[in-house]
A = this chain, B = another copy of it.
Amino acid sequence: MAQAIGYMDSGVGGLTVVKETLKQLPYETVYFFGDQGRLPYGPRSATEVSQFAGQIGQYLLDKDIKMFVIACNTATYAALDDLRAMLPIPVIGVISPGARAATKVTRNHKIGLIATDGTIKSQAYEKSILAKDGRNEVFSVACQSFVTLVEDNEYTTEKAREIVKASLKDFDGTGIDTLILGCTHFPLLKPFIQEAVGPDVTLVDPAVETANMVTTMLDYFELTNATSKKELADQYFTSGDSKRFEAIANDWLPQNDIQAIHVPITDLETK
């Protein structure tokens, strides 16, 4: 179908989900919205985050998307139920895919989780993981500062390496064999995270399983674009600075000519 899939994140982190989806679905058009003008979401209330996500969902729905992916863990726990009730299209979050992936990977049932303050406090991952297998144990560490490292384009610096190392010390002695990157910004810090926890811990990036879920749901709802070509151009929107968005998007995605469209917050507030 000649309709795009909509994605949202508080910033650029959700591009990790877009990247995985583009690998599986090269003919599906991406409309991505990064809410960098109101970043970070982690410390905000669930009510406020749900309101922001609803505005973005409506903004993209007005552009005729066929599915909406909340490519942000904080917004998933805060807004998934609300957006499902509000939007007349399938809405997918990243938490249940992340929980599914971790449950498949772990062998000793000790699962680590790093995420923003809001996601950790919500216990959404714990609930989903324990529902799948009551033998699982979840060890959580909030890593709010990682989001800023990525948004400031500092994710390959020595400073980032030190912060990651210090933050993940909290997992020493837990015996985890699996670590969920429970914020879509974190895969950009993957090399430092793997170094900090050691090679025996399997990192789970929910983006991969979310891409699987997008593909599955397109099939289930018969929404796959079957024309073997991309019928509409991808579009990237940000409520923040478009140059800043483009720098990271062009570094992280296979394309290198992404031009982001700036959308003022006042435009969202009328949605």
* Partner-B contacts on A (CB < 8 A): 24-27, 90, 92, 96-97, 100, 104, 127-128, 130-134, 212-213, 215-217, 219-220, 224-226, 228-229
- Are A100's CB and B228's CB within 8 A? no
Interface CB pairs A-B, < 8 A, 23: A25-B132, A27-B133, A92-B220, A96-B220, A97-B216, A97-B219, A100-B215, A100-B216, A100-B219, A127-B226, A128-B219, A130-B226, A130-B228, A131-B224, A131-B225, A131-B228, A133-B228, A134-B228, A212-B212, A212-B216, A213-B216, A216-B216, A216-B217
The residues of B that contact A224 with a CB separation of less than 8 Å are: 131-132
Q: How far is the CA of A27 from the CA of B135 in the complex (A)?
A: 12
Copy number of this protein in the oligomer?
A: 2
A134 to B26, CA, bound (A): 11
Chain B CB within 10 Å, residue with most, of A26, A90, A104, A216: A216
List chain B residues, Cβ under 8 A from A128.
219
Please name all residues of chain B whose beta carbon is closer than 8 Å to the beta carbon of A26 when the two chains form the complex: 133
Known: A130-B226, A131-B224, A217-B220. 19 other contacts (CB 8 A): A26-B133, A27-B133, A90-B220, A92-B220, A96-B219, A96-B220, A97-B216, A100-B216, A127-B226, A128-B219, A131-B226, A132-B224, A133-B228, A134-B228, A134-B229, A212-B212, A212-B216, A213-B216, A213-B220
